[in-house]
Amino acid sequence: MDATVEKLKKNKAFSCLECGKCTAVCPISRFNESYSPRRMVAEGLFYGADGLVDDRLLWSCLTCQLCSQRCPVDVRYSEYMRDVRAEAVSLGKMGNPSHGGALHYIMEIATSPKLKQERTEWIESGLRVKKKGEVLYFVGCIPFYQDFFAKDFEFTPVSIARDTVRILNHIGVEPVVLENERCCGHDLYWLGRLTEFDDLGRLNIKAIEQSGAKTVVTACPECALTLKRLYSERLGTASFEVKHISEVVADHIERISFDELERKITFQDPCRLGRYLGVYDEPRNVITAIPGVTFKEMAHSGRGAICCGTTNWMNCDATSKKIQSSRLKEAKAAGAGTLVTACPKCQIHFRCAQYGEEAEDIDIELMDFVNLVASALRK
Amino acid sequence: MAGKTEDKKKRKAGSGSTAGPKKKPSAKKAAAKKRTASRKKDFTPNIVVFACNWCSYAGADNAGVNRIQYSPNFRVIRTMCSGRVTPAFVLKAFKLGADGVMVSGCHFGDCHYIFGNYKAVEQFEKTKALVKTLGLDEKRVALEWVSAAEGTRWGEVIDNFVAQVTSLGPSPLNHSKKKRT
């Protein structure tokens, strides 16, 4: 019980006014009436975490921060969920992982120090990368997504990695790519599996420091959040600066010349990039700088953007699919022909919602931010 | 008290001497080499086999009934169909320290669920790619078709796979120090 009080105190749950704004905006509550962030907090306050650890809905929270954004007293709901999950994990409990937990096993296997991965096969001729240098490109899980999702969803996740290097090369940067980079551990952190997260963090920090990198660039908002904030929160301040690729491109926008691209585009703010890291304007500035592009904003955008429906590869169900299709409908309703997102996971989830569906109202072209920028670069 | 500090000094001097650091790593390396060599030599692999209920599991049974002699270094997990064996199953086996994983089902056209083994091929392609990217050798996984009447073939298939995995040595995720038989 003491541990529960500690968790509630740490995440300011005692301040809860029970106003219910969290439940009003929660994307899960919108489609699943039995889920309510307010109830989760109230239950913790009245009965402690004992009941919550057995609740299957504990694993449903997307940790998208939309509720924290609206909370008038700043209850840290996502962090509260993480702490209760950590308690559940210590009791040997877990939610329902999607894909049979394959992606979680990859993360767990990555904690093994003896592992020597073969994850740099995507580097084709024409891309310039180094072994040591100032700037490092942190690839993330993209090589595994290529193996796992490429065939089903008819897209090439590695093109995100290739185009990121292409963009960096274009602005005169030759990035370091680690041969034995580990999963960043983002998902394990939010699932409360902190021991494994720490192991991955230590391995990654050591590898990055050995490469001599001062700046780490990533095309995945989750990696960016983890490297920038979560590692320093748990493992001490890191010696490198972390930037998402959209920030790098925005910084160099004056020097980049684009070809014309006739497209109507809308942008999906990934929750980690927007609400966690506060990067809203940079991707928009870059997209609107491409000549010929008409930028359309969705009904929910920026700080109020709705998540892609699944996080941590956990508890994916009909609710997730409904969130995804409603988001795709929103993009279509905004009058866009292409939905651009800056997170590979968002794209996978949206493609999954489209998979096998013939419905016209969710049929919209999906594209990663780096693919868009790279296709517009003047040759 | 004085003796202790002297000891400390001695130790310090020992580690700081010119001969020490040069000799040490090479000796260490040689020892490590010897250890890995001996580990490889005495190595008996741990192999997990997912066998489908209708053909391969019955094939294994047939091998037993016919008293066929073959390697004992594997454990069978019965699944209702080879198509059920997703990458997650295989990755979990590796995570728990398996040195090799085999998926076995019915021959094409023989599947009890008509197309289950075609699904198995799809799943296995993903598994193989993931295993390769993780840096575990592709040869640590295998997909085989064994029918209920092919007891002899079951023995051969297992023998070949055991030999293949033995030649690769222990998996980097196999942390067991005990020699298993």
**Separation of CA A240 from chain center:** 20
CA distances from A6 to A14, A45, A75, A291, B74 (A): 11, 11, 14, 54, 48
Report angle CA B96, A185, A208 to the nearest 5 degrees. Answer: 110
- Window from A71-85, A123-137, A353-367, B16-30 with minimum mean pLDDT: B16-30
| DSSP conformational letter for A130 | B
Count of other CB atoms within 10 angstroms of residue B119: 18
Q: For chain B, how far is it from start to end, CA to CA, in angstroms? A: 51
The tokens for A179 are 């041969």
The answer to whether A177 and A139 have CB atoms below 8 angstroms apart is yes
Please check whether residue B125 touches A, CB under 8 A.
Answer: yes
Rounded distance between C-alpha atoms, residue A237 and residue A369, angstroms: 29
Question: Among A105, A121, A146, whose Cβ lies nearest the Cβ of B91?
Answer: A105
Rounded distance between C-alpha atoms, residue B142 and residue B160, angstroms: 11
Q: How many beta-carbon contacts under 8 Å exist across A and B?
A: 66
Rounded distance between C-alpha atoms, residue A243 and residue A114, angstroms: 29
Rounded distance between C-alpha atoms, residue A32 and residue A164, angstroms: 37
The answer to whether B99 and B165 have CB atoms below 8 angstroms apart is yes
Please check whether residue B168 touches A, CB under 8 A.
Answer: no
Domain ranges of chain B: 47-168
Question: What's the complex ipTM?
Answer: 0.93
For residue A147, give how far its alpha carbon lies from the nearest alpha carbon of chain B (Å): 6
Give the three-class secondary structure for A108: helix
CA distances from A342 to A149, A219, A267, A347 (A): 18, 7, 8, 9
Q: How are the residues of chain A apportioned to helix, strand and coil, as percentages rounded to the nearest 5?
A: 50, 10, 40
Question: Structural domains in chain A?
Answer: 2-90 (no CATH), 98-250 (1.20.1050), 257-376 (3.40.50)
Question: Among B88, B122, B173, whose Cβ lies nearest the Cβ of A100?
Answer: B88
Residues 6+ apart with CB under 8 A from A45: A8, A13, A14, A16
- For the stretch A6-65, pLDDT in tens is 888 889 999 999 999 999 999 999 999 999 999 999 998 988 877 889 998 999 999 999
pLDDT the model gives residue B41: 63
Residue in chain A lying closest to B123 (CA): A148
- For the stretch B135-180, pLDDT in tens is 999 999 999 999 999 999 999 999 999 999 999 999 999 876 555 4
Inter-chain residue contact B134 with A143, CB threshold 8 Å: no
Regions of chain B where pLDDT drops below 50: 1-23, 180-181
| DSSP conformational letter for A181 | P
Specify the fold of B47-168: Rossmann fold (3.40.50)
